[in-house]
């Protein structure tokens, strides 16, 4: 490997099928779009999944592949006010991309791992990439603040136990965005340094604002914000704004709170090869 190569994409060179999954729920799968679109353009077979905050129990039985795994298409009936997986499926179908987004309900590590195994087997994937909008998936538990770690840690532990999958990676985009939830990003960098020392850090790169992937990502986020005006994605909204050169803006939460969030400098993507998760004693 040299500075001219990208270790993350090299790790996926031999993969037949790749599952890109939102680790933290909500709109996290949108954070994986730049990677997914780049890999699709290379001819890779890419599938999308997400831990869902949608009321999936309202779905009909035809949506469920197995317990805890739903296949969401653009035509899927469901809640009108908040359904990120269907909103993304609509955008994908409109733009000519494969338009099924798989959804996991909020369950514990073991049932979530079983749900991942279902998709791995059904889709014949040999690589799983967990994506996080922000970097709080890198928290270990002893930091000053953890952001919103529960779903990230559940996803990380579930995928770490998929021993039959040869390539399991974590990608984070939007360094700095978790200041909204109190994360100290000096500690994020310290954790990345520890991962690097352990041989688990695959480097970082920026999603150029002029790239095809950035343009499509911004369009997808704008579509999602318009579709869910009462519950827009703060994280993806700020990353998309950063890709337009905007440095800082206030966040209006739909329930009335106002917070000033430092804009990520650009679409930095950090890649890590997770070992089994470490938890504080």
CA distance linking residue 251 with residue 240, whole number of Å = 14
**pLDDT tens digits, residue range 76-90?**
999 989 999 999 999
Whether 242 maps to a domain, the answer reads no
Residue 268: the pLDDT is: 54
**pLDDT tens digits, residue range 21-75?**
999 999 999 999 999 999 999 999 999 999 999 999 989 999 999 999 999 999 9
The alpha carbons of the chain give a radius of gyration, in whole angstroms, of: 17
| Residue 173 · residue 130 · CB < 8 Å | no
Whether 260 maps to a domain, the answer reads no
Name the one residue in this structure whose structure tokens are 């999944």. 49
DSSP string, 212-277: HHHHHHHHHHHHHHHH-TTS--HHHHHHHHHTTT--EEEEE-TTS-EEEEEPPSSEEEEEE---SP
What is the pTM assigned to this prediction?
0.87
CA distance linking residue 237 with residue 177, whole number of Å = 10
Number of domains in the chain: 1
* pLDDT-wise least confident of 27-36, 247-256, 264-273: 247-256
Residue 255: the pLDDT is: 33
Strand pairing partners for 171?
131, 271
Whether 236 maps to a domain, the answer reads no
N residues, the chain = 281
Name the one residue in this structure whose structure tokens are 């049932």. 111
**pLDDT tens digits, residue range 106-158?**
999 999 999 999 999 999 999 999 999 988 888 887 777 777 778 899 999 99
Residue 54: the pLDDT is: 93
Q: 33: alpha, beta or left, given left = phi > 0 and alpha = psi -120 to 50? A: alpha
Whether 66 maps to a domain, the answer reads yes
Whether 249 maps to a domain, the answer reads no
Neighbours of 30 (CB within 10 A): 30
Mean pLDDT of all residues in 95-111: 97
Whether 225 maps to a domain, the answer reads no
What integer best gives the mean pLDDT of the chain? Answer: 85
Whether 245 maps to a domain, the answer reads no
Whether 280 maps to a domain, the answer reads no
Residue 275: the pLDDT is: 44
Range of the domain at 121: 7-208+265-272
**CATH code, 160:** 3.40.50.620
* pLDDT-wise least confident of 128-132, 142-146, 190-194, 276-280: 276-280
């Amino acid at each position: 490997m040299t500075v001219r190569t990208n270790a993350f994409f090299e790790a996926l060179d031999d993969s037949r099928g790749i599952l890109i999954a939102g680790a933290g729920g909500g709109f996290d799968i949108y954070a994986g779009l730049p990677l997914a679109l780049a890999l699709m353009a290379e001819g890779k077979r890419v599938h999308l999944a997400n831990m869902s905050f949608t009321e999936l129990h309202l779905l009909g039985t035809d949506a469920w592949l197995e317990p805890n795994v739903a296949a969401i298409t653009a035509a899927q009936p469901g809640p009108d006010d908040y359904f990120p997986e269907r909103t993304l499926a609509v955008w994908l179908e409109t733009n000519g991309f494969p338009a099924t987004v798989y959804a996991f309900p909020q369950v514990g590590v073991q049932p979530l791992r079983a749900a991942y195994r279902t998709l791995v087997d059904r889709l014949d994937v040999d690589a799983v990439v967990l994506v996080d909008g922000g970097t709080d998936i890198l928290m270990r538990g002893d930091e000053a603040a953890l952001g919103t770690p529960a779903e990230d840690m559940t996803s990380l532990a579930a995928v770490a136990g998929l021993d039959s999958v040869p390539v399991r990676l974590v990608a984070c985009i939007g360094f700095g965005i978790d200041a909204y939830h109190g994360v100290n990003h000096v500690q994020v960098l310290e954790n990345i340094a520890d991962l690097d020392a352990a041989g688990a850090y695959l480097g970082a790169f920026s999603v150029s604002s002029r790239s095809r992937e950035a343009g499509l990502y911004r369009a997808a986020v704008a579509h999602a914000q318009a579709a869910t005006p009462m519950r827009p994605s703060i994280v993806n909204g700020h990353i998309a704004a950063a890709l337009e050169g905007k440095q800082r803006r206030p966040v209006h939460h739909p329930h009335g709170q106002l917070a000033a969030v430092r804009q990520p400098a650009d679409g930095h993507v950090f890649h890590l090869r997770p070992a089994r998760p470490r938890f504080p004693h």
